[in-house]
């Protein structure tokens, strides 16, 4: 049983090499968090959940690279299964863009949406690079994995980790999980599974992920941004600031030109535009 | 299971056949992963499909469904030919040295003793040569020793023959054989894990026996990390089996009495095993009478006395079997008036569901006890059934769900674990056992009022519950445990059972689970303190719940140690003889606890058999003393071993016997091999009522090999029609390379996968045909378990 102390960073180590795609995490999450789920819809036979969204805070991805062979090694690398979840990024895009302060970092170093503060603006949904967040159509608030904030406050591990039968999802203090992950990676490399790699265990993506992964292929195979592509919305800031400055300069110039023209003689009036502009337009 | 779930972590090699534990037993599967992660064990999964189990296994072998006897037979041959078997173990703990009578013969696919008219063997014709003392002769060098006959029998299972039958290429088979062969070393141990992928065949019993024979040869039965381990299909199916859900046994695996048995002595003589070696303990056979008398005392109490053979006359001696197939065959013949269903839906679970629907239509009444509407309680609105034509009166009795009652579950590892009631019963729901108790009381009242042909068995039955209409499961558990009737105290062990009417036991293998000290299935001394609760470190946790028999965690564990009582592998001891304490230590010994193995005349290791050993050769099965490969009844090829006897010669052919039309197809019309199975997201049919699970798997589908789909122009998600001689399914296709073609005896054979979970009742099921509309109405010769896992179909794009 993990001891849960406010002030310490907690997260998940999701070891995809032992994931068996049972989806107990998906169901346990919905049961605990009282998520009714989406309307049933046929996906591809094994993944009928489709994606993380307001109703699915855990989603097992199935990536089928199985070859048509009479003998092959499974070893967790032919039919990739990965229980995806909010990464609780150290540099969290959602937190950065939230205009209301609904998104906070908790005493467990997790990223949490306060439903009573969220105004449903969807900025966080657009900002999340992992497509984690969805808008609940009934309450009109953004929802995602809370890392079972309520359970942590009660000293209990999150529901998904509790339900996972193979310890593919491990919960604990992030520093301890990183040590475990590093050991597991060494074991797999020792067994000749060279492509096994950690994702988000160091600071190379979004400053480090509190919910990080051991992957059996490169991140792109799981549709995850690699280190080169994992950048925050604020990456646009430099360009944004420059554009603002240029706009400001042009506006000043434009204003000066306009002032000069006021002194010029009035030309023939232009025809009325066809579309009626509301008052105070332009 | 001979062993138990947690014990799988002790294995070096895990063979998984006819099972998909990652999907069907995800919680138990953790122990296979622990073996892999903690000790570098290898997992070899032989299965028609690359499944979620294969995904984390070290090796997946694509095997043709129903051909595992050839696979295990090939491994047996490899182990024998290369002298890789555990010689000391085989000599000490198996019947390898027993000499078989010279009447034994196996020729052109038939064993001796075959009656072609009745399609049965006389199993007593497979016997040992006995001396004047009545004991079996032993001489391992004798050409007719079991070992030598076995070498001869399996010589035909060459890697080439294995490839022709199973589709596993020779080089791949040999890679696996090499790993398996190493497991004959005393310091190595392998487990075999199986499920209904082995049992659901006309050769089901022999499929399992072939694995058990391999394990005996490798010296892996009785050892931690070894054994032959059946994963049971739901939480309490082991408990059901122990308490005689099967048609051929009474509680505790006592045989159902047979016609012609006029008294207890007849019954015991014909049912109990006989002592075949001077030092064989023959515990089961020698105590058979005690267990049976105690059972009848539990049933008939004071009415069971020595003068009336303890009410033996009251027990039915059925002339025909009452297997699942036979019940519906009788209904089809119009010989059944009514049927009560509890805890299952006959419409969905039986083979050839269109024929089952006809059978139900021929009943006068059908009573369904269930927590939800089922495909049986609403069978009259199945696709293809005209409700107007169904005259059957259907009674739906709301029954409680397991979450609404207490009681024990017995898991695959034989652990009986008590659980508490979580919710009070909803609405008018009653427990199934209350419904049955009420029915019984009313039937008894009718007998009392109106008499009847043979009222005594009903009138004399004990019903010793505080409220006879509402027995508690606690009362029933005590009754099962049994009493010393002289003192009125509950017994602590079945060693205390007697055949003089002074003891009772509702199921002797459970005697000791509820002694005077309390209900041991409630114990929970587990991983909260491993040092204290698992003193041997082998994962036995003796203070966790209770496992039958006598809280023993590994069956046959005497064979985990050599003749002198020293563990074959000191790192992984089951039990060992402690000469200082003069007793066996470790697990609860499957042996007299103080029998000194170093003394002459020490009992042989397998105390339950007449031989005193494990049986490589056995006449306890209906279809042959050595497992032999037979084709499924519907097969794309003739048996390469003996084409003239291609399928098992002893499967009972119901339709033929009843004069109904042939319902078996041939590969000319139905060219593809199909197999049915479950998915992890659903539990049989009941979870069609659970929203979160329906969301995970909302619609029926079939899995189709990518190459075949390309030939047919089928894309993922397209609607297809899969049909057999018996029915059809119209569902979506999931196109995948996880299934593919096999070369079977020179022929390209495709396999199609059919998940079973859908029908026409549930929150999102719509009107679907049942998967079992496709499966054949035929079963195993010994168990009559239907052949759900291998049959022929055609496939069309819709």
pLDDT value, residue B495:
96
Of B57, B62, B696, the CB nearest to A74: B57
Provide the whole-model pTM. Answer: 0.94
Chain A, nearest residue to B49 by Cα: A70
Structure tokens at B290: 């005690």
A186 touches chain B (CB under 8 A): no
Give, rounded to a whole angstrom, the gap between the first and last alpha carbons of chain B. 44
Of A42, A76, A191, the CB nearest to B56: A76
Nearest in space to B250 (alpha carbons), one of B205, B315, B297, B302: B315
**Cross-chain residue pair B54–A79, CB shorter than 8 Å:** yes
* B674 within 8 A of B792, measured Cβ to Cβ: yes
pLDDT value, residue A256:
75
**Cross-chain residue pair A37–B57, CB shorter than 8 Å:** no
Chain B, nearest residue to A28 by Cα: B692
**Cross-chain residue pair A79–B55, CB shorter than 8 Å:** yes
Q: How far apart are CA B214 and CA B221, in angstroms?
A: 10
Chain A, nearest residue to B38 by Cα: A187
Of B55, B707, B742, the CB nearest to A74: B55
Of B55, B694, B695, the CB nearest to A78: B55
Count how many pairs of residues, chain A against chain B, have C-beta atoms within 8 Å: 144
**Cross-chain residue pair B697–A167, CB shorter than 8 Å:** no
Task: State the average pLDDT for chain B.
Answer: 97
Give, rounded to a whole angstrom, the gap between the first and last alpha carbons of chain A. 64
Of B29, B55, B734, the CB nearest to A45: B734
Distance, in angstroms, between A145 CA and closest chain B CA? 17
Q: Show residues of chain B in contact with A64, CB under 8 Å.
A: 736-738
Per-residue pLDDT in tens (0 to 9) along chain A, 282 residues: 789 999 999 999 999 999 999 999 999 999 999 999 999 999 989 999 999 999 999 999 999 999 999 999 999 999 999 999 999 999 999 999 999 999 999 999 999 999 999 999 999 999 999 999 999 999 999 999 999 999 999 999 999 999 999 999 999 999 999 999 999 999 999 989 999 999 999 999 999 999 999 999 999 999 999 988 887 766 666 666 666 677 777 777 777 777 776 666 555 555 554 544 444 433
**Cross-chain residue pair B55–A72, CB shorter than 8 Å:** no
Q: What are phi and psi of B255, to 5 degrees?
A: -75, 150
Here the contacts of B764-767 (C-beta below 8 Å, separation 24 or greater) are: B764/A40, B764/B688, B764/B694, B764/B698, B764/B699, B765/B688, B767/B383
Residue in A70, A77, A191, A217 to test binding to B, most B beta-carbons within 10 Å:
A70
Distance, in angstroms, between B323 CA and closest chain A CA? 34
Of B23, B169, B701, the CB nearest to A70: B169
Structure tokens at A172: 């604990």
A50 touches chain B (CB under 8 A): no
Nearest in space to B482 (alpha carbons), one of B287, B312, B299, B237: B299
Chain A, nearest residue to B28 by Cα: A165
Distance, in angstroms, between A29 CA and closest chain B CA? 11
Structure tokens at B621: 């099965």
Q: Show residues of chain B in contact with A17, CB under 8 Å.
A: 56
A17 touches chain B (CB under 8 A): yes
**Cross-chain residue pair A74–B45, CB shorter than 8 Å:** yes
Residue in B55, B231, B681 to test binding to A, most A beta-carbons within 10 Å:
B55
CA B277, B282, B287, B291 dihedral sign is negative
Structure tokens at B118: 């009745």
A193 touches chain B (CB under 8 A): no
pLDDT value, residue A277:
44
Chain A, nearest residue to B734 by Cα: A45
**Cross-chain residue pair B30–A187, CB shorter than 8 Å:** no
Containing B705, the helix (H) or strand (E) segment is strand B701-705
**Cross-chain residue pair A74–B54, CB shorter than 8 Å:** yes
**Cross-chain residue pair B33–A75, CB shorter than 8 Å:** no
Overall size of chain A counted in residues: 282
**Cross-chain residue pair A20–B27, CB shorter than 8 Å:** no
Distance, in angstroms, between A59 CA and closest chain B CA? 10
Distance, in angstroms, between B185 CA and closest chain A CA? 24
Residue range B731-786, pLDDT digits in tens? 999 999 999 999 999 999 999 999 999 999 998 877 888 999 999 999 999 999 99
The ranges assigned to domains in chain A are: 10-222, 233-261
**Cross-chain residue pair B29–A166, CB shorter than 8 Å:** yes
**Cross-chain residue pair A44–B734, CB shorter than 8 Å:** yes
Q: Show residues of chain B in contact with A73, CB under 8 Å.
A: 57-60
Q: Looking at residues B407-427, what average pLDDT do you find?
A: 97
**Cross-chain residue pair B55–A49, CB shorter than 8 Å:** no
Low-confidence winner among A73-77, A235-239, B514-518, B662-666 (lowest mean pLDDT): A235-239
pLDDT value, residue B6:
97
Return residues 85-104 of A near B (CB < 8 Å): none
Using the predicted structure, report yes or no on whether residue B330 has a pLDDT greater than 50: yes
Nearest in space to B93 (alpha carbons), one of B217, B176, B245: B217
Chain B, nearest residue to A17 by Cα: B56
Residue range B258-313, pLDDT digits in tens? 999 999 999 999 999 999 999 999 999 999 999 999 999 999 999 999 999 999 99
pLDDT value, residue A261:
67
**Cross-chain residue pair A64–B764, CB shorter than 8 Å:** no
Q: Show residues of chain B in contact with A191, CB under 8 Å.
A: 40
Query: Is residue A173 helix, strand or coil?
Result: strand
Distance, in angstroms, between B574 CA and closest chain A CA? 26
Q: What residues form DSSP beta bridges with B44?
A: B15, B59
Instruction: Render A222-269 in DSSP notation, one character per residue.
Output: GT---TTT---TTHHHHHHHHHHHHHHHHHHHHHHHHHHHHTSPP-PP
Using the predicted structure, report yes or no on whether residue B358 has a pLDDT greater than 80: yes
Q: Which domains does chain B have, with CATH numbers?
A: 5-94+154-233 (3.40.228.10), 249-317+473-513 (no CATH), 324-411+415-450 (3.40.50.740), 643-797 (2.40.40.20)
A64 touches chain B (CB under 8 A): yes
Q: Show residues of chain B in contact with A192, CB under 8 Å.
A: none
Q: Looking at residues B117-131, what average pLDDT do you find?
A: 96
Of A38, A64, A70, the CB nearest to B736: A64
* B346 within 8 A of B719, measured Cβ to Cβ: no
pLDDT value, residue A280:
41
Rg (CA), chain A: 25
Using the predicted structure, report yes or no on whether residue B363 has a pLDDT greater than 60: yes
A237 touches chain B (CB under 8 A): no
Percent share of chain B, pLDDT over 70: 100
Strand positions, DSSP E, chain A: 10-15, 58-64, 71-72, 79-85, 103-105, 111-113, 134-135, 142-143, 169-173, 197-199, 211-215
**Cross-chain residue pair A31–B53, CB shorter than 8 Å:** no
B762 torsion bin: left (phi>0), alpha (psi -120 to 50), beta (else)? left
**Cross-chain residue pair A27–B696, CB shorter than 8 Å:** yes
Of B169, B697, B707, the CB nearest to A68: B707
Q: How far apart are CA A55 and CA A136, in angstroms?
A: 7
pLDDT value, residue A241:
66
A31 touches chain B (CB under 8 A): yes
Hey, what CATH class is A10-222 in? alpha beta
**Cross-chain residue pair B695–A49, CB shorter than 8 Å:** yes
């Amino acid at each position: 049983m993990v001891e849960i102390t406010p002030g310490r960073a907690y997260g998940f180590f999701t070891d995809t090499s032992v994931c068996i795609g049972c989806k107990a995490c998906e169901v346990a999450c919905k049961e605990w968090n009282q998520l009714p789920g989406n309307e049933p819809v046929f996906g591809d036979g094994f993944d009928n959940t489709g994606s993380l969204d307001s109703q699915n805070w855990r989603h097992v991805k199935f990536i089928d690279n199985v070859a048509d062979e009479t003998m092959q090694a499974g070893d967790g690398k032919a039919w990739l299964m990965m229980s995806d979840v909010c990464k609780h990024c150290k540099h969290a895009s959602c937190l950065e863009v939230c205009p209301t302060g609904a998104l906070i970092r908790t005493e467990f170093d997790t990223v949490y949406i306060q439903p009573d503060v969220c105004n449903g603006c969807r900025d966080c949904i657009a900002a999340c690079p992992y497509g984690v967040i969805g808008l609940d159509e009934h309450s009109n608030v953004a929802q995602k994995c809370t890392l079972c904030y309520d359970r942590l406050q009660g000293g209990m591990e999150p529901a998904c980790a509790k339900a996972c039968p193979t310890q593919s999802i491990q919960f604990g203090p992030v520093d301890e999980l990183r040590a475990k992950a590093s050991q597991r990676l060494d074991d797999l490399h020792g067994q000749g599974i060279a492509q096994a790699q950690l994702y988000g265990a160091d600071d190379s993506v979004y400053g480090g992920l509190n919910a990080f992964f051991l992957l059996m292929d490169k991140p792109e195979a799981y549709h995850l941004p690699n280190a080169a592509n994992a950048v925050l919305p604020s990456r646009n800031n430099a360009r944004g600031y420059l554009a603002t400055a240029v706009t400001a300069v042009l506006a000043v110039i434009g204003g000066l030109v306009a002032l000069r023209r006021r002194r010029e003689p009035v030309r023939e009036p232009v025809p009325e535009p066809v579309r009626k502009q509301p008052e105070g337009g332009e | 299971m001979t062993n138990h779930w947690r014990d799988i972590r002790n294995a070096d090699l895990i063979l998984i056949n006819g099972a998909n534990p990652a999907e069907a037993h995800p919680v138990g599967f953790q122990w296979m992963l622990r073996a892999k992660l903690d000790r570098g064990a290898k997992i070899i999964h032989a299965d028609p499909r690359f499944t979620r189990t294969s995904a984390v296994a070290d090796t997946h072998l694509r095997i043709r469904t129903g051909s595992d006897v050839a696979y295990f037979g090939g491994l047996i041959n490899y182990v024998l030919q290369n002298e890789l078997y555990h010689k000391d173990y085989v000599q000490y703990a198996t019947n390898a040295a027993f000499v078989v009578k010279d009447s034994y013969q196996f020729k052109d696919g038939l064993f001796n003793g075959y009656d072609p008219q009745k399609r049965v063997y006389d199993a007593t014709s497979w016997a040992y040569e006995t001396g004047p003392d009545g004991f079996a002769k032993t001489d391992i060098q004798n050409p007719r020793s079991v070992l030598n006959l076995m070498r001869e029998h399996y010589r035909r299972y060459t890697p080439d023959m294995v490839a022709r039958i199973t589709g596993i290429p020779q080089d791949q088979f040999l890679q696996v054989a090499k790993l398996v062969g190493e497991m004959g070393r005393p310091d190595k141990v392998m487990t075999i894990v199986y499920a209904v992928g082995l049992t659901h065949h006309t050769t089901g019993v022999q499929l399992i026996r072939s694995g058990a024979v391999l394990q005996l040869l490798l010296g892996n039965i009785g050892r931690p990390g070894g054994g032959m381990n059946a994963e049971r299909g739901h939480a309490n199916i082991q408990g059901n089996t122990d308490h005689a859900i099967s048609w051929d046994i009474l509680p505790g695996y006592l045989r159902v009495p047979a016609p012609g048995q006029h008294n207890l002595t007849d019954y015991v003589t014909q049912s109990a095993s006989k002592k075949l070696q001077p030092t064989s303990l023959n515990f089961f056979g020698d105590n058979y009478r005690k267990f049976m008398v105690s059972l009848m005392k539990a049933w008939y109490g004071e009415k069971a006395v020595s003068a009336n053979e303890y009410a033996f006359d009251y027990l039915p001696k059925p002339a025909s079997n009452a297997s699942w197939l036979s019940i519906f065959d009788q209904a089809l013949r119009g010989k059944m008036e009514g049927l009560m269903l509890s805890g299952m839906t006959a419409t969905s679970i039986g083979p050839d569901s269109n024929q089952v629907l006809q059978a139900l239509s021929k009943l006068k009444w059908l009573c369904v006890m269930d927590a939800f509407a089922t495909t049986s309680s609403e069978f009259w609105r199945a696709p293809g059934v005209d409700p107007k034509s169904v005259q059957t009166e259907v009674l739906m009795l709301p029954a409680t769900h397991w979450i609404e009652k207490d009681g024990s579950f017995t898991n695959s590892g034989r652990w009986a674990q008590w659980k508490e009631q979580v919710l009070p019963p909803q609405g008018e729901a009653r427990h199934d056992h209350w419904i049955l108790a009420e029915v019984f009381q009313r039937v008894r009242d009718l007998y009392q009022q109106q008499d009847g042909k043979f009222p005594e068995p009903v009138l004399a039955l004990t019903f010793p519950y505080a409220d006879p209409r509402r027995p508690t499961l606690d009362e029933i558990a005590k009754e099962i445990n049994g009493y010393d009737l002289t003192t009125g105290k509950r017994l602590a062990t079945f060693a205390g059972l007697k055949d003089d009417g002074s003891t009772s036991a509702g199921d002797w293998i459970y005697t000791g689970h509820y002694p005077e000290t309390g209900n041991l299935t409630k114990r929970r001394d587990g991983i909260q303190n491993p040092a204290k609760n698992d003193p041997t470190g082998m994962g036995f946790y003796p203070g966790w719940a209770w496992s039958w028999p006598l809280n023993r965690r590994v069956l046959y564990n005497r064979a985990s140690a050599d003749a002198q009582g020293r563990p074959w592998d000191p790192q992984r001891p089951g039990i060992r003889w402690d000469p200082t304490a003069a007793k066996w230590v470790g697990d609860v010994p499957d042996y007299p606890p103080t029998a000194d193995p170093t003394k002459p005349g020490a009992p042989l290791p397998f105390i339950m058999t007449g031989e005193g050993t494990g049986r490589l050769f056995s006449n306890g099965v209906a279809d042959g003393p050595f497992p032999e490969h037979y084709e499924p009844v519907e097969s794309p090829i003739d048996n390469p071993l003996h084409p003239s006897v291609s399928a098992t010669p002893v499967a009972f052919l119901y339709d033929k016997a009843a004069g109904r039309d042939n319902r078996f197809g041939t590969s000319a019309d139905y060219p593809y091999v199909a197999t049915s199975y479950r998915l992890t997201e659903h539990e049989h049919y009941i979870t069609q009522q659970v929203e979160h699970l329906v969301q995970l798997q909302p619609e029926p589908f079939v899995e189709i090999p990518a190459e075949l789909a390309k030939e047919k122009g089928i894309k993922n998600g397209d609607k297809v029609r899969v049909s057999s001689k018996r029915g059809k399914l119209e569902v979506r296709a999931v196109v995948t390379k996880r299934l593919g073609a096999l070369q079977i005896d020179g022929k390209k054979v495709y396999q199609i996968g059919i998940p079973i979970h859908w029908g026409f009742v549930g929150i999102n099921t719509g009107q679907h045909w049942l998967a079992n509309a496709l499966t054949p109405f035929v079963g195993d010769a010994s168990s009559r378990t239907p052949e759900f896992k291998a049959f022929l179909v055609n496939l069309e794009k819709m």
